[in-house]
Amino acid sequence: MKKHVLLELAELNDREPAYALVHNVDLVVVRYDEEVSVLYGRCAHRGALMSDGYIDGCITCPWHGFQYRPEDGCSPPPFTEKIATYELQLDGDTVLLNPKALSDGTERPVTIIDELIDTATAQTHSERQNNA
């Protein structure tokens, strides 16, 4: 699957939703502590842009307050709304997105910045060894 360059880590502020448009689909990107999440960017209620919302444990819609958990796009119980999630990868400081949406409410693999940086570093080291 071809990965899409989404943005640079430096463009993401902690707990500030960011907007992205990929293949004409609105997305919301969220960094919270050392994790990054990408969800479908429109609220399941009436389609507000989730990037205009705020982070309060969940991503909270700016219009009527629907909330979605960043790890799976599900509203917390007792609510049942869901939005799609996306897989991410980190290449150095660049956040790469698999543009194929996971099903609404699918828990995506946690994207932890430090681990990904370590992985990227390890691959680079490994490549160096192969080239030696």
Residues of this chain that bind ligand FES (CB under 6 A): 43, 45-46, 48, 61, 63-66
Q: Are 82 and 114 in contact (CB under 8 A)?
A: no
Q: Are 50 and 43 in contact (CB under 8 A)?
A: yes
C-alpha distances (whole Å) from 87 to each of 46, 47, 78, 84, 99 are 25, 22, 26, 10, 8
The residue among 6 and 59 lying less far from ligand FES, judged by its C-beta, is 59
Nearest in space to 28 (alpha carbons), one of 64, 62, 3, 76 = 62
Residue 66 C-beta: closest distance to ligand FES, Å: 4
Residue 13 C-beta: closest distance to ligand FES, Å: 22
The residue among 41 and 102 lying less far from ligand FES, judged by its C-beta, is 41
The residue among 37 and 60 lying less far from ligand FES, judged by its C-beta, is 60
The residue among 23 and 64 lying less far from ligand FES, judged by its C-beta, is 64
Residue 59 C-beta: closest distance to ligand FES, Å: 10
Secondary structure element (H or E) that encloses residue 122, with its range: helix 113-131
Residue 73 C-beta: closest distance to ligand FES, Å: 13
